[in-house]
Amino acid sequence: MTENLQVDGVQRYPPVARRCCLYLFMLGYHIFSDDDVIGNLSTHRRPMLCAGLCVSVLNTYLFLWCDQDTAAVMAANTLTRTLAEWLMLLAVTGLAKARFDRENTVTRYMVQRSFLFYILHYIWIVLFQYILYDSLGGNTALMFLLPLLPAYAATLISCEICIHIPVLYLLLGTKPAGRKSTSTQQGAKP
């Protein structure tokens, strides 16, 4: 039903698959914006993490060590991958709520720069991976881990530059330095 389409060597998905992904995204966005749901995830974080890890191990086994390219194995791999993604997403969200839902200087700083960080971090990660590719010899683990520190440092520097230059903060849709958002002002204690 969801056949893979190749157009000019690029993988394309049928409109039904694209609509399904959009519906799932919107449903997830709606569900994760509810504080009661996040509280329940925090309560059940450990079982979700255990289940997510077990399904991830099964997915890895199916992907790497099953030599059969039958439809059943491919369907099982897709099912376990999707289930692992959801369970781990729920578990990490619950863990983050339980462990990191605190307010301090660092979290207030990151809340003010989170949108810029989200926009800019990927550019720096890809750039540092490109720069380090030849020296790391294509080692996947090192290509993932080593660029993170310099990329995140460059991202934070870029965020600071962007909130101080009027043209950049207007183009990126952020507020200038020193100006609080309306949600921060409304939630402030008198």
Angle of helix 35-43 relative to helix 71-100, nearest 10 degrees, comes to: 100
Predicted confidence (pLDDT) per residue in 155-184, tens digit: 999 999 988 888 887 888 777 776 555 444
Predicted confidence (pLDDT) per residue in 79-128, tens digit: 888 888 888 888 988 898 888 888 888 888 887 888 888 889 999 999 99
Position 15 scores a pLDDT of: 64
Average model confidence (pLDDT) across the chain: 80
The one-character DSSP state at 117 is: H
User: Model-level pTM?
Assistant: 0.50
Would you state the structure tokens that stand for residue 28, as one six-digit string? 């997830």
59 or 2, higher pLDDT: 59
Task: Give the CA angle between residues 54, 60, 63 to the nearest 5°.
Answer: 140
The one-character DSSP state at 9 is: T
